[in-house]
């Protein structure tokens, strides 16, 4: 019942407020979450302490609050993905570097999309292109929210949505069929099919699928970074990586984490810090959360 009330309230706000004002309200919503959900705040604090030990505690606290503001803004702006028109989405989210994507259309291609807060909006914006994408998603526990997210990702095009529990085979078929694969490999899914490689200098259980999929399919890897920019968002498509996959899976996975770290340092407040990225520890290491 609370979910229906929340979605109804968001719809009313979306209809009554300009998007810029809705985004600013979202920043206050994020600070409210910061105050009211100490368990998630703790996870974010631990992640920032591990990744930015050079910062003073007060600086990390400011960074975490800035993250909550960015996350709150993105949360309310989901309304545009759920109910906005094509023109509204095109105005809210612009695309840079589209030529890098167009250069490889029809070929096996993986879009490496790290977990920045605008990730969902960026993915929906790409579906407005006359291109059939494929993406893998992890179903949300709340069935109503899950239904709304899937609706947003599929309402403008015929993109293929693959649930994580379906495994990698549907993704391989989609890539071989020439569908760019929107892939998010930078979370801790446990030790299975993962290696411990550094992320901000901390051993992090990291899935090796990017390297393995690229090897199996011959796909090029093209980074896709979504960033908040003023009152809107930018989907930044970068040139495809050269010499990938490389010598071995471990070096490829290290390269991926080093690249994501580089992108995070550009806009650290926009990376999703509330995930338990370091939950899985090497044998003998104590839990960090």
At 248 the pLDDT is: 95
Res. 2: pLDDT tops 80:
no
At 83 the pLDDT is: 96
Which residues, in sequence order, are CB contacts of 89 under 8 Å at separation 6+? Answer: 80, 81, 121, 124, 125, 128, 156
**Would you say 151 and 127 are in contact if contact means Cβ atoms under 8 Å apart?**
no
**Would you say 253 and 197 are in contact if contact means Cβ atoms under 8 Å apart?**
yes
What is the rounded CA–CA span in Å between residue 13 and residue 242? 45
Gyration radius of the chain's alpha carbons: 19
At 127 the pLDDT is: 94
- As a whole-number percent, the residues of the chain with pLDDT over 70 amount to 100
Query: Do the domain assignments include residue 240?
Result: yes
Query: Do the domain assignments include residue 284?
Result: no
Query: Do the domain assignments include residue 288?
Result: no
Query: Do the domain assignments include residue 282?
Result: no
Residue 159, classed as helix, strand or coil, is coil
Task: State the pLDDT confidence band at 194, using cuts at 50, 70 and 90.
Answer: very high
Res. 89: pLDDT tops 80:
yes
Q: What is the pLDDT of the chain when averaged over all its residues?
A: 95
Query: Do the domain assignments include residue 120?
Result: yes
Which residues, in sequence order, are CB contacts of 95 under 8 Å at separation 6+? Answer: 125, 126, 129, 234, 235, 237
Predicted confidence (pLDDT) per residue in 200-215, tens digit: 999 999 999 999 999 9
Q: Could you check whether the bond before residue 245 is cis, i.e. omega within 30 degrees of 0?
A: yes
At 156 the pLDDT is: 87
Query: Do the domain assignments include residue 286?
Result: no
Q: Which has more pLDDT, 142 or 50?
A: 50
Query: Do the domain assignments include residue 258?
Result: yes
> Based on the structure, what is the number of domains in the chain?
1
Q: What is the mean pLDDT of residues 86-111?
A: 97
Task: State the pLDDT confidence band at 140, using cuts at 50, 70 and 90.
Answer: confident
Token pair 């095109």: residue = 90
Q: What is the mean pLDDT of residues 23-31?
A: 97
**Would you say 135 and 123 are in contact if contact means Cβ atoms under 8 Å apart?**
yes
Residues of the domain holding 13? 2-270
At 221 the pLDDT is: 98
Q: What is the mean pLDDT of residues 46-57?
A: 98
Task: State the pLDDT confidence band at 125, using cuts at 50, 70 and 90.
Answer: very high
Task: State the pLDDT confidence band at 163, using cuts at 50, 70 and 90.
Answer: confident
Res. 137: pLDDT tops 90:
no
Single pTM value for the model: 0.94
């Amino acid at each position: 019942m609370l979910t229906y009330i929340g979605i109804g309230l968001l719809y009313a706000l979306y209809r009554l407020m300009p998007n810029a004002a809705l985004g600013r309200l979202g920043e206050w919503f994020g600070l409210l979450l910061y105050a009211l959900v100490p368990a998630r705040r703790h996870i974010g604090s631990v992640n920032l302490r591990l990744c930015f030990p050079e910062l003073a505690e007060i600086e990390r606290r400011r960074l975490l609050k800035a993250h909550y503001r960015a996350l709150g803004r993105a949360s309310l702006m989901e309304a545009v993905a759920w109910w906005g028109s094509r023109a509204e989405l095109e105005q809210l989210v612009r695309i840079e570097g589209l030529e890098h994507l167009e250069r490889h259309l029809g070929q096996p291609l993986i879009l490496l999309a790290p977990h920045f807060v605008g990730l969902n909006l960026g993915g929906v914006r790409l579906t407005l292109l006359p291109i059939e994408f494929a993406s893998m998603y992890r179903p949300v526990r709340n069935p109503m929210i899950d239904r709304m997210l899937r609706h947003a990702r599929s309402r403008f095009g015929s993109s293929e949505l693959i649930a994580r529990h379906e495994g990698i085979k549907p993704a391989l078929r989609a890539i071989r069929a020439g569908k760019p694969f929107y892939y998010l490999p930078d979370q801790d899914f446990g030790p299975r099919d993962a290696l411990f490689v550094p992320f901000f200098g901390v051993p992090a259980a990291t899935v090796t699928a990017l390297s393995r999929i690229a090897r199996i399919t011959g796909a090029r890897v093209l980074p896709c970074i979504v960033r908040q920019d003023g009152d809107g968002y930018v989907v930044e498509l970068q040139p495809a990586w050269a010499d990938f996959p490389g010598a071995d899976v471990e070096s490829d996975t290290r390269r991926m984490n080093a690249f994501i770290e580089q992108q995070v340092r550009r806009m650290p407040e926009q990376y999703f810090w509330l995930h338990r990225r370091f939950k899985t520890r090497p044998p003998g290491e104590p839990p960090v959360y």
